[in-house]
Amino acid sequence: MSLLKIEDLYASIGDEKILNGLSLEINAGETHAIMGPNGSGKSTLSYVLSGREDYDVSKGSVLLDSKEILDIEADERSRLGLFLAFQYPIELPGVTGMTFLRTIINSSRVAKNLPELEGIELVKLIREKAAELEISQDMLKRFVNVGFSGGEKKRFEILQMALLDPKIAVLDETDSGLDVDALRIVGKGVTNLKSKDRGMLVITHYQRLLDHIIPDFVHIMVKGKIIESGGPDLAKLVEKEGYKSFLNGN
């Protein structure tokens, strides 16, 4: 079952054309990886998918679970089941982790016509998921991402993903800024969230994350479109030979 279908997507920011005819389809239960050199448009893809304002889409379509989402606002896309783990998570001074998580959990539940969670049930759910990602209770009392290390920020992103239970999860360079231990925890956390009802899109520059989150399909993205697709071996090839050969091909 197709969960995400991107067809011939063209997007630009200001005068700069970044996505140039990108197409991709992710079915339920699949994990896809997109790799590409700097400037290939990887982050732009994740922002355009999640609905950030500054980008202009001139052509193409994106179907989330068969529903066109390009003309839908960011918050609605999330409620429809799309999750983006930011490469650079934003700080929210004054908003505690607990408050933030409670708000987003209940927003999602209301959208699914489920009753809101409160009190002990809510705290229990959050603590359980937090523990799996080695996030302390203390961290939840602090303001969201304020003073968090790179690893703490990424783990908090994955915690949100676990609590929101999305249909499609887009992970934007989740490994950037992570040390070996953090990478292991994040990798485990994401792998645990793989399911037959969920599709994942892992966007990365380096191969090492893909040792922890093993993809079913690997795509190479250069200058805003996918130029080659294959299995996990393709990633190993990139690691060995870099992006040079792919760039020359274009």
Partner 1 sequence: MEINSPPSNEVLDFCNSFKKSFKEHGWPNSKIETWKMTPLHKFIKDTSSLKHNSNYLIPNNKNKFINNIDINNLEFLNSKYFQKNEMSRVILAHISNAFEILVPKNTSKKETIDIKSSIDAGIWSSSLIIIKVPENVECNLALEFSLSSSSLCTPLIAIDVGKESNLSFGLSVINNSKSLNASNFVSLIEGNLSENSNLEMVLTQQGVTLSRSDININLNQNYSNYDLIGVYFGREKQHQDITTCVNHLAENTSSNQIIRGILDDSSVGVYQGGVKVAPNAQKTDGRQMSRALLLSNLAESNSKPELEIFADDVSCAHGATIGELDKDQFFYLLSRGVSHSMARELLIKAYLNEVVEEIQNDYLSDKLEKAIDFWLSEFKMKEVA
Give how far Cα 48 sits from Cα of 22, 71, 111, Å: 12, 11, 22
The stretch among 89-97, 193-201, 206-214, 217-225 that binds partner 1 (CB under 8 A) is 89-97
Q: How far is residue 33's CA from residue 10's CA, in Å, rounded to a whole number?
A: 20
Q: Are 139 and 152 in contact (CB under 8 A)?
A: yes
Q: Are 36 and 202 in contact (CB under 8 A)?
A: no
The stretch among 6-14, 84-92, 128-136, 224-232 that binds partner 1 (CB under 8 A) is 84-92
Q: Is 65 in the site for partner 1 (CB under 8 A)?
A: no
- How many residues at the interface with partner 1, by CB under 8 A? 29
Give how far Cα 233 sits from Cα of 69, 177, 194, Å: 32, 25, 20
The stretch among 29-37, 64-72, 99-107, 194-202 that binds partner 1 (CB under 8 A) is 99-107
Q: How far is the CB of 75 from partner 1 (least distance, A)?
A: 4
Among 31, 40, 44, 78, interactor with partner 1 by CB under 8 A? 78
Among 7, 25, 65, 91, interactor with partner 1 by CB under 8 A? 91
Strands 199-204 and 168-172: parallel
Among 8, 56, 68, 73, interactor with partner 1 by CB under 8 A? 73
Token pair listed for 62? 């994106």
- Could you give the angle at the alpha carbon of 46 between the alpha carbons of 40 and 51, nearest 5°? 130
Q: Are 164 and 108 in contact (CB under 8 A)?
A: yes
Q: Is 176 in the site for partner 1 (CB under 8 A)?
A: no
Q: Is 56 in the site for partner 1 (CB under 8 A)?
A: no
With respect to partner 1, which residue has the nearer C-beta, 84 or 182?
A: 84
With respect to partner 1, which residue has the nearer C-beta, 10 or 86?
A: 86
Q: Is 164 in the site for partner 1 (CB under 8 A)?
A: yes
Among 16, 38, 66, 94, interactor with partner 1 by CB under 8 A? 94
Q: Compute, in degrees rounded to 10, the torsion defined by CA atoms 34, 4, 216, 183.
A: 60
Q: Is 241 in the site for partner 1 (CB under 8 A)?
A: no
Give Cβ neighbours of residue 136 (< 8 Å, ≥ 6 apart).
130
Task: Give residues in contact with partner 1 (CB under 8 A).
Answer: 50-53, 73-75, 77-79, 84, 86, 89-95, 99-100, 103-104, 107-108, 111, 143, 160, 164
